[in-house]
Amino acid sequence: MDVAEWLRGLGLEQYEPAFRANEIDERVLPSLTAEDLKDLGVILVGHRRRLLDAIAALGAAVPATPSRDPTVRADAQRRQLTVMFCDLVGSTELAGRLDPEDLREVIAAYHGAVADLVGNLDGFVAKYMGDGVLVYFGYPRAHEDDAERAVRAGLGLIDAVGRLDVKSVELQARVGIATGLVVVGDLIGEGSAQEQSVVGETPNLAARLQALAEPDAVVIAAGTRRLVGDLFEVHDLGALEVKGIAVPVPAWQVLRPSTVASRFEALRGSALTKLVGRDEEIDLLLRRWARAKAGDGQVVLISGEPGIGKSRIVAALAERLHAEAHLRLRYFCSPYHQDSALYPFIDQLGRASGFARDDSAAAKLEKLEAQLARAAPQDEDVALLADRLSLPAWERHPLPNLGPQRKKERTLEALIRQLEGLARLQPVMTVFEDAHWIDPTSRELLDLAIERVRSLPVLLIVSSRPEFQPPWIGQPKVSMLTLNRLDRSDRTDLIEQLAGGKALPDEIIAQIADRTDGVPLFVEELTKSVLESGVTPLGIPTSLHDSLMARLDRLGSVRRVAQTGAAIGREFSYELLHAVSRLPEDELQTDLARLVG
Ligand SMILES: Nc1ncnc2c1ncn2[C@@H]1O[C@H](COP(=O)(O)OP(=O)(O)OP(=O)(O)O)[C@@H](O)[C@H]1O
Ligand SMILES: [Mg+2]
């Protein structure tokens, strides 16, 4: 297949140079994701959608190339995948009832819905099998939250299928999801060999759970359940007899996203050990708080890599302030809502007002009014904020007639006035988590807030990963706190705490301390896996697979050097790596520079 011709056929030939420059050929094309398209410079959402639909259609018609070698290829990778299997309910009955043309239309609409949802979450539709669809999360690109992505896709899919309106048939689906280590061969263009290209029991388990699920249910296996923590409300189905698996397997039905707003609490909150080290950092935060309380508002930007302890240090500060009279406001950015204007603020208002799932709009409005009233807002502010939350407030609070730009500005002012109003009542500690996922409008609001906070009894803490460059560094009253990796003695301390009463041999403690490089999350997970399995810390705990793989995948072609190095050991000489990698000197140098840079 000629990719240039394919683009021309879609009327999108303007992207031909970018596709060519990035070596997008027929083998890579079917696995392109929305993110890849962004990287390729496809800025318009409409164009991305058209390309993704056309790519999905390619998958549906998986042609043709006869399988060269159905066995796993030499470049196969061992990966942790979250596999999702979904199927339409009652399709045989449907096939009997509809004429073939109509049936095809129904199935196409359903496949389209699946491809859309999966594409938006950067998953990979591996195969359409009649009305069944096999989807991978974690391949070809891993994300730290692949399990969560799969579950979100499952829930979204049930919802979307229920709302499909084709040929007046009511559709229902069921979804099974499992996570595990698999060996993936070359999945692209292998025709019938695709099924064999993922080896391991995970796809089988996902398919079996799907078959056992009730209509409109998403059922997950234990591996997935562990990784999603408390991010979702689940119903325990107990242990199910599954064909082909000797012992009953525990399974859960996912009901809905949970109301726990903080990812830290949902994923790590269950059993916190004592805080290790970080005395100076806590000191700094306490000093800034003391100033803020006295009316000299302060901003602290906390930056550090994933798992280094940003959320943890904020939690530790909150604990220290527990006995002091103050207000705490918490805002969370989400990787799933980066395009949704003011998401963290809207979410916070809903939480603070105490919205319940089944509340009517009128009930929500009343709760919102009560919440906002604490800061004695103007009528217009209530109207604007209610409007943001899609609540009909106009009878009691008329919405001013404004253009979109003016309306946005006024809404931002209303939110700032809320903060000012609350700060008049009590000193406020405001935490804004994960700013690397911030949406542009929230960015504007944060700019304003950072200005305004200086003259208020407010401590504003903003946390972010290093890919986000806080633009406020150097401004008055703004301090930067970069969290570094734990030193040797703190690592040991953390390992010993996690082990509780169990004495781990010194040698094992030393190995864990070494291999985790002082990232607390890694220390925790590796120690836990050693304690659970009782073996020496050689393997990588399943909980870390996705985030480590995501880091590796981000490296692109440089990954081969990282993998070669890893195969040699933790330490090796340049000469040895050069000899083994067989790369030309300049390529190796460039790759190494990217890896350590
Ligand atoms: N100083 C510490 N002492 C003990 N445990 C820690 C410490 N720092 C972090 N942890 C633990 O390590 C894990 C990861 O920390 P945390 O979630 O705060 O990282 P993070 O920097 O917020 O990561 P992310 O960017 O993914 O949000 C948590 O379980 C946390 O309790
Ligand atoms: Mg965090």
What span, in angstroms and rounded, lies between the C-alpha atoms of 556 and 141? 10
Q: State the distance from the centre of ligand 1 to the C-alpha of 81, rounded, in angstroms.
A: 24
| Residue 467, Ramachandran bin (φ over 0: left; ψ between -120 and 50: alpha; else beta) | alpha
Judged by DSSP in three states, 233 sits in strand
306 Cβ below 6 A of ligand 1: yes
What span, in angstroms and rounded, lies between the C-alpha atoms of 385 and 364? 12
Q: State the distance from the centre of ligand 2 to the C-alpha of 144, rounded, in angstroms.
A: 13
Which of 521, 525, 526, 547 best tests ligand 1's pocket when mutated (most atoms within 8 Å of CB)? 521
Q: State the distance from the centre of ligand 2 to the C-alpha of 464, rounded, in angstroms.
A: 8
311 Cβ below 6 A of ligand 1: yes
350 Cβ below 6 A of ligand 1: no
- Cβ distance 232 to 256 under 8 Å? yes
The pLDDT tens digits along the chain (597 residues) read 788 888 888 888 888 888 888 888 888 888 888 888 888 888 888 888 888 888 877 755 443 333 333 343 445 667 789 999 999 998 888 888 888 888 889 988 999 999 999 999 999 998 888 788 999 999 888 899 999 999 999 999 999 999 998 888 889 999 999 999 887 765 544 444 444 456 678 888 999 999 999 999 999 999 999 999 999 999 999 999 988 788 899 999 999 999 988 999 999 877 778 899 999 999 999 999 999 999 999 999 999 999 999 999 999 999 999 999 999 999 999 999 999 999 999 999 999 999 999 999 999 999 999 999 998 888 899 999 999 999 987 778 888 888 999 999 999 999 999 999 999 999 999 999 999 999 999 999 999 999 999 999 999 999 999 999 999 999 999 999 999 999 999 999 999 998 887 878 888 888 888 888 899 999 988 888 888 766 655 566 767 777 777 777 766 667 778 877 777 777 778 888 888 777 888 888 888 887 776
CATH 3.30.1360.120 matches 3-60: no
537 Cβ below 6 A of ligand 1: no
C-alpha to C-alpha distances, 503 to 498, 506, 507, 509, 518, nearest whole angstrom: 10, 9, 11, 10, 20
491 Cβ below 6 A of ligand 1: no
- For the chain, residues classed under CATH 3.30.70.1230 are 77-258
User: Computed over its alpha carbons, how large is the radius of gyration of the chain?
Assistant: 26
Cα 144–Cα 24–Cα 203 angle in degrees, nearest 5? 45
Query: Which atom of ligand 1 is nearest to 263's Cα?
Result: 27
**Among 128, 309, 138, 311, residue whose Cα is nearest residue 224:** 138
Closest protein CA for atom 9 of ligand 1: 309
308 Cβ below 6 A of ligand 1: yes
Between strands 249-257 and 218-221, the pairing is antiparallel
524 Cβ below 6 A of ligand 1: yes
Residue 268: per-residue pLDDT: 86
**Phi and psi angles of residue 506, each rounded to the nearest 5 degrees, phi first:** -50, -40
Q: Which residue's entry shows tokens 């996922």?
A: 437
Starting from the CA of residue 495, give the closest ligand.
Answer: 1
Q: State the distance from the centre of ligand 2 to the C-alpha of 272, rounded, in angstroms.
A: 14
Query: Which atom of ligand 1 is nearest to 547's Cα?
Result: 26
**Phi and psi angles of residue 526, each rounded to the nearest 5 degrees, phi first:** -70, -40
**CA quadruple 358, 363, 365, 370: dihedral, nearest 10:** -120
What span, in angstroms and rounded, lies between the C-alpha atoms of 129 and 203? 14
What span, in angstroms and rounded, lies between the C-alpha atoms of 427 and 412? 21
Neighbours of ion ligand 2 (CB under 5 A): 264, 310-311
344 Cβ below 6 A of ligand 1: no
Q: State the distance from the centre of ligand 1 to the C-alpha of 311, rounded, in angstroms.
A: 6
C-alpha to C-alpha distances, 55 to 11, 60, 418, 445, 448, nearest whole angstrom: 14, 9, 47, 38, 42
Two tokens, residue 484: 């570094």
277 Cβ below 6 A of ligand 1: yes
**Among 77, 81, 80, 72, residue whose Cα is nearest residue 197:** 72
Q: What H or E segment, with its residue span, contains residue 526?
A: helix 520-533
CATH class of 266-482: alpha beta
What span, in angstroms and rounded, lies between the C-alpha atoms of 330 and 327? 10
Judged by DSSP in three states, 27 sits in coil
What span, in angstroms and rounded, lies between the C-alpha atoms of 514 and 537? 10
304 Cβ below 6 A of ligand 1: yes
Cis peptide before 140 (omega within 30 of 0): yes
Contacts for 184 with CB less than 8 Å, ≥ 6 apart: 76, 77, 79, 81, 139, 197, 198, 199
312 Cβ below 6 A of ligand 1: yes
- Cβ distance 272 to 262 under 8 Å? no
136 Cβ below 6 A of ligand 1: no
Between strands 77-88 and 132-137, the pairing is antiparallel
**Phi and psi angles of residue 89, each rounded to the nearest 5 degrees, phi first:** -85, 140
Closest protein CA for atom 15 of ligand 1: 309
CA-based torsion, 493, 498, 501, 503: positive or negative: negative
- For the chain, residues classed under CATH 1.10.150.50 are 3-60
Residue type, 354: G
Sequential DSSP letters for 194-228: HHHHEESSHHHHHHHHHHHSPTT-EEEEHHHHHHH
521 Cβ below 6 A of ligand 1: yes
Residues in the chain, how many? Answer: 597
Between strands 77-88 and 173-184, the pairing is antiparallel
Starting from the CA of residue 314, give the closest ligand.
Answer: 1
Closest protein CA for atom 1 of ligand 1: 276
- Cβ distance 222 to 238 under 8 Å? no
The neighbouring-strand residues paired with 215 are none
Closest protein CA for atom 16 of ligand 1: 309
275 Cβ below 6 A of ligand 1: yes
335 Cβ below 6 A of ligand 1: no
SS (H, E, C) 415-480: HHHHHHHHHHHCCEEEEEECHHHCCHHHHHHHHHHHHHHCCCCEEEEEEECCCCCCCCCCCCCEEE
CATH of region 77-258: 3.30.70.1230
